[in-house]
Amino acid sequence: MSKSVLKPAVIVDPYSSGAFFAESFRKLGIPVVGVMSSPEPPDVYASSFRPADFDQVLVADVNDLAPLISKLAALEPSCILTGCESGVELADLICPQILPNKCNDPAKALARRHKGEMGRAVANAGLPSARQICTNSTDELESWLREQGLSGQDLVMKPPKSASTDGVIKIDGGVAWREKFENLLGTHNRLGFKNDKVVVQEFLSGVEYAVDTASYDGRHAVASICRYNKIDNAGYMAIYDTMDWMPPNFIGADQIKEYARQVLDAVGVRYGTSHIEIMLTNQGPRLVEIGVRPHGGGHPQFCRIATGSSQIDLVARSHIDNSLQLQNYSLLTNMTIVFLLCKREGRVTRRDALDQISDLASFHFSKINIRQGDHLKPTEDLFASLELGFVALSHTDPQQIKADYALIRQLEASIFS
């Protein structure tokens, strides 16, 4: 094995789906080093951290990065990649200092993490985009709504640096937007960041897709496209219901893929994985947001069943081949993720009803965290969904998946007396 192959891959915050980088690189004979942006993972990611999978784990001192950079430079890494959302900014800080020829565009780093700057970068690149503003002023927001003709229209508010729909609010007809804006401003999101400003966007109507990509030297491969199905739940917006893997050539796929690649260029992505949420509207694709890290929630393990590979596998392979496999992915079988939901507050009295899920014809995998006696509240974001759990369904017959989905929702509703 050549010396270049033995140079380690460095994964910053290898949590959530970022944990799968260790397996992918190790299969190719590449050692893997984990870097933590804080002494402990954020609570929402703690259960996914597997330090034993890494040859060594280093902890960053955000007040003095020099020691970390010195240690990493001595390792002569083959790449420095982001594992999950909390590591995006640290990876963008250290990679240019160690691997200046294998990093994302430093000048556009803020656009890869801050949703206000993200939207601005896409608009400045000339891509069609949602109208939005990022502000801490109700007066400025009121003037902007009036100038854009959005007064009295549906809006979306979100923190600039949240993840997994945390803090995302739909304002129907713009009603009470001022109160909701002020309630969100100044709070802390579930990654620990203070919401010092709020992003406000026009509400986009259409079908939402998740485009998961792998990038190497500025070239971008689409590893999978999934369709999101979301619902409003007990006053909360865009709660995940299901996610379906799409065939590579569905109607609108080429348009979505090209738009996704243009978004990646607009925010300066050259290496690593990205998760791009795109709404296909009647006017064409529009960016919802982009995460410059793998699709979370364990997505790679299910993507391998659906397509035979994943964005993490493609990225790992690219650092062996020094190039990226750009051919279209294939859909090998139908795959759907069903996110568990709580639609009303209550105490779990019949947890055993959920045991029937594993007997479904399309059952592939489940992670169910609901216990007898738990007091549950209505699901408010993706973090809350994943705390309840999810079920992966896979079958050659999509109608079987549809029937099993309906039964899951019946069983789920029956756990309360």
Band of residue 236 on the pLDDT scale cut at 50, 70, 90: low
Task: Give Cα separations from 411 to 4, 201, 243, 387, 400 (angstroms).
Answer: 53, 37, 19, 18, 17
Helix (H) or strand (E) holding 224: strand 219-233
pLDDT digits (tens, 9 = 90+) for 50-95: 999 999 999 999 899 999 999 999 999 999 999 999 999 999 999 9
Band of residue 154 on the pLDDT scale cut at 50, 70, 90: very high
> What gap in Å lies between CA 112 and CA 3, rounded to an integer?
32
Band of residue 161 on the pLDDT scale cut at 50, 70, 90: confident
Would the pLDDT of 108 be above 50?
A: yes
The class of domain 3-103 in CATH terms is: alpha beta
The class of domain 131-202 in CATH terms is: alpha beta
Q: How do the domains of the chain map onto residue ranges? A: 3-103, 131-202, 207-413
> What gap in Å lies between CA 73 and CA 10, rounded to an integer?
11
Note the pLDDT of residue 235.
65
Band of residue 376 on the pLDDT scale cut at 50, 70, 90: very high
Would the pLDDT of 151 be above 50?
A: yes
403 against 42, higher pLDDT:
403
Contact present, 161 and 122 (Cβ < 8 Å): no
The class of domain 207-413 in CATH terms is: alpha beta
Would the pLDDT of 129 be above 80?
A: yes
Would the pLDDT of 339 be above 50?
A: yes
Instruction: Give me the mean pLDDT over the 383-399 stretch.
Output: 92
Contact present, 242 and 79 (Cβ < 8 Å): no
Note the pLDDT of residue 20.
97
Band of residue 6 on the pLDDT scale cut at 50, 70, 90: confident
Mean pLDDT, the chain, whole residue set: 93
Note the pLDDT of residue 96.
98
Note the pLDDT of residue 3.
41
Note the pLDDT of residue 2.
41
> What gap in Å lies between CA 220 and CA 212, rounded to an integer?
10
pLDDT digits (tens, 9 = 90+) for 110-119: 999 999 999 9
Contact present, 223 and 214 (Cβ < 8 Å): yes
DSSP structure class, residue 203 = P
> What gap in Å lies between CA 121 and CA 112, rounded to an integer?
9
Band of residue 39 on the pLDDT scale cut at 50, 70, 90: very high
pLDDT digits (tens, 9 = 90+) for 278-296: 999 999 999 999 999 999 9
Tally Cβ neighbours within 10 Å of residue 65. 15
Band of residue 230 on the pLDDT scale cut at 50, 70, 90: confident
> What gap in Å lies between CA 373 and CA 167, rounded to an integer?
28
Give residues with Cβ within 8 angstroms of 112, minimum separation 6.
Answer: 88, 92, 104, 118, 267, 268, 269, 290, 292
Measured in Å, how far apart are the chain's first and last C-alpha atoms?
Answer: 61
Instruction: Give me the mean pLDDT over the 253-261 stretch.
Output: 97
Note the pLDDT of residue 163.
65
Note the pLDDT of residue 195.
82
Instruction: Give me the mean pLDDT over the 128-138 stretch.
Output: 95
**What whole-number percentage of the chain has pLDDT above 90?**
82
Band of residue 237 on the pLDDT scale cut at 50, 70, 90: low
Instruction: Give me the mean pLDDT over the 193-210 stretch.
Output: 91
